[in-house]
Structure 1
Amino acid sequence: MTSTASATGWQAHLNLGFQRQAQRTILGQCAHRGPLQVQRPFYPEGKEVCHVAILHPPGGVVGGDRLRIDATLDPGAHALLTTPAAGKFYRSAGPFARQRQHLTVTTGAALEWLPQENIVYQGARIQTSTRIDLQGDARFLGWEILCLGRPAAGERFEFGECQQNFELWRDGEPLYLEQGRYTGGEPVLAAHWGLQGQPASATLLAAGSPPGLVADLRAALEPSAGEARVSVSQLDGVLVCRYLGPSATMARQLLTMAWGLLRPALLDRPPCPSRFWIT
């Protein structure tokens, strides 16, 4: 489809549908409007798992842009969704940029949602929302990583606004709800009860994971965390791994380590890192 731009920014929508055919997961539906696309699906670990990279050709999001991703996995399908690079949200002259993801995983299906980090430039105004709806015994393993400012360039998030929602539901009941609102220069960014002066934060969720992995994850992650803070907990069938520290790259490395330990237990498959994570 052709790209669609309005006076206030890009309006983009990507709708994906995954189906199981015999022993193979296929991308049976792929419709897009505006600058959201996918690369050709690839199968680095055989035909059972469909790996897809979501592309945003403009390379960054500006005030007024509206990006929406909907994905549905039919029974028995298994998909891994990632991005080829970090998401970048640029300084806005006033309007918010909005990014929304709604991911539906039906009974017997499994989704891995593993995008690279979102980098929010100083002066950006963004609203991001991700909702995962699980049905029956569907399994989910995924993360979201946020970096406020560009610490490698010495840029802090001294003005701008970032609103972030990350929700996990099963059969209409909430399993995990996270809401954050960060305004540049406000006390929450530096306070001990807030972000403690750290620019990068991340959350990994695993739904359907067997018990007994919390201690193993802590033992693996904590020695590598350095000055960052990591935590692992499990409640109501959801394992939660959190990161707060100086580097989005470190956050992704630690969560990738956690994913590598969780994947065999949750999905009965060895780790198969995306080729995009090492390019």
Structure 2
Amino acid sequence: MLMPINEVMELSAQRVNAQALLAVRHSEGRSRVHRLYQEGAAKIRLPEVRDDPLEAILINTAGGLTGGDRIAWEIEAATGASVTVTTQACEKLYRSRSGRARVDVRLSAASHGSVAWLPQETIVYDGSSMSRRLEVDLEEGARALIVESTLFGRKAMGEVVTRALFRDRWRIRCNGRLVHAEEFAVGPDVAATLSRPAAMRGSLAVATLLLIAPDAEMLLSEALAIAGDEGGASFWRVAGTGKLLARLQAGDGYSLRKRLAPLVGLLNGKAGLPKIWTL
């Protein structure tokens, strides 16, 4: 007797359980790979570059995340080393039948090291459920640029997100001192939340950019000009370093990217945009 097809699908369903680590150190005049570990669907590819920073591309070979999936990324920059990390494509959060997808990101930079976390946009689909945690530890004189951008459906594709769960938790520390913490939570009634004037006023695309660097204040005026009326930027001096925080929102992903790309290019210094962003 044949098993009902829905039972076959339930038994054969697989869940992503993946992790990857990249450790970079400065050796012979440039940043080089010190350790590289990959497990499951988490892959790291390293395009050839001639100068610092070392550039890494993260790939989720599962093609997206759904309920029950787990993926973890860890990036370490040793003293004087610099690394820019991006993704091969936008991460997609698919409809969840049960459970929640979980993403864990750990970044660290030793004294005068630099790490730039620049993934392409996360696309939230209707019915998806995801919780992401970002932990960053920096030593004195270290530099970090952290960017996360999210699209609640793609307007050009006619996608509408009414119900979903999206959680994003950031904790950034300098010399063991907490310098930035935030919780971004939307759902389950996504449409109602995004329409509120105090939230996103109907915008479907949002980005947060955080630069921790001693010289961050010098970039504030340019950041404000790029952010425009549908965004903003501010600066604080804390724990012996500088903190520049910028937020963008837009009605669609294309409009967001038009301001996001130049702002990332500004805040990422001489490294500019990851090459894959311009392909």
Q: Specify the TM-score bucket, using the shorter chain as the normaliser.
A: 0.7 to 0.9
Confirm whether residue 196 of structure 1 aligns to residue 201 of structure 2. Answer: yes
State how far apart, in whole Å, the 1-side matches of 2:254 and 2:169 are.
21
Are 1:157 and 1:185, in contact at CA under 8 Å, matched by a contact in 2?
A: no
Confirm whether residue 179 of structure 1 aligns to residue 180 of structure 2. Answer: no
Closer/same/farther in 2, CA of residues 212 and 109 from structure 1, 3 Å limit: closer
Match of 1:117 among 121, 126, 144: 121
State how far apart, in whole Å, the 2-side matches of 1:119 and 1:22 are.
40
State how far apart, in whole Å, the 1-side matches of 2:216 and 2:278 are.
29
Match of 2:33 among 27, 34, 38: 27
Confirm whether residue 98 of structure 1 aligns to residue 102 of structure 2. Answer: yes
Offset of 1:262 from its aligned partner? 2.9
Count, aligned residues: 262
Are 1:204 and 1:241, in contact at CA under 8 Å, matched by a contact in 2?
A: yes
Deviation per CA, 1:112-150: give whole Å up to 9, x if none.
111100001100011111121111110012311011223
The runs of 5 or more residues in structure 1 that have no matched partner are 1-5
Are 1:157 and 1:184, in contact at CA under 8 Å, matched by a contact in 2?
A: no
The runs of 5 or more residues in structure 2 that have no matched partner are 1-11
Consecutive aligned runs of 4 or more in structure 1 exceeding 6 Å deviation: none
- The residue identity in structure 1 corresponding to 2:193 is V
SS in 2 for 1:9: coil
Closer/same/farther in 2, CA of residues 261 and 10 from structure 1, 3 Å limit: closer
Offset of 1:79 from its aligned partner? 0.5
- The residue identity in structure 2 corresponding to 1:179 is E
Are 2:154 and 2:253, in contact at CA under 8 Å, matched by a contact in 1?
A: no
Structure 2 match to 1:141: 145
Structure 2 match to 1:50: 54
Are 1:23 and 1:47, in contact at CA under 8 Å, matched by a contact in 2?
A: no
Closer/same/farther in 2, CA of residues 263 and 96 from structure 1, 3 Å limit: closer
Confirm whether residue 275 of structure 1 aligns to residue 275 of structure 2. Answer: yes
Structure 2 match to 1:11: 17
Structure 1 match to 2:252: 247
SS in 2 for 1:213: helix
Offset of 1:7 from its aligned partner? 6.2
Larger radius of gyration, structure 1 or 2?
2
State how far apart, in whole Å, the 2-side matches of 1:230 and 1:159 are.
25
SS in 1 for 2:126: coil
Structure 2 match to 1:260: 265
- The residue identity in structure 1 corresponding to 2:94 is Y
SS in 2 for 1:211: helix
Offset of 1:108 from its aligned partner? 1.2
Offset of 1:58 from its aligned partner? 1.7
Deviation per CA, 1:24-49: give whole Å up to 9, x if none.
11111111111001113421xx3332
Are 2:41 and 2:61, in contact at CA under 8 Å, matched by a contact in 1?
A: yes
Which region of structure 1 is more displaced relative to structure 2, 118-127 or 204-213? 204-213
Structure 1 match to 2:81: 77
SS in 2 for 1:217: helix
Q: Give the TM-score, by structure 2 length.
A: 0.88
Deviation per CA, 1:199-250: give whole Å up to 9, x if none.
111111111134243222222442xx6xxx1101111320011011112333
Deviation per CA, 1:165-192: give whole Å up to 9, x if none.
1232211212221211111425422111
SS in 2 for 1:242: strand
Are 2:216 and 2:244, in contact at CA under 8 Å, matched by a contact in 1?
A: no
Confirm whether residue 86 of structure 1 aligns to residue 90 of structure 2. Answer: yes
Are 2:77 and 2:110, in contact at CA under 8 Å, matched by a contact in 1?
A: yes
Are 1:87 and 1:118, in contact at CA under 8 Å, matched by a contact in 2?
A: yes
State how far apart, in whole Å, the 2-side matches of 1:7 and 1:254 are.
40
SS in 2 for 1:260: helix
Offset of 1:159 from its aligned partner? 1.2
State how far apart, in whole Å, the 1-side matches of 2:133 and 2:256 are.
20
Q: RMSD of the alignment, in Å?
A: 1.8
Structure 2 match to 1:205: 210
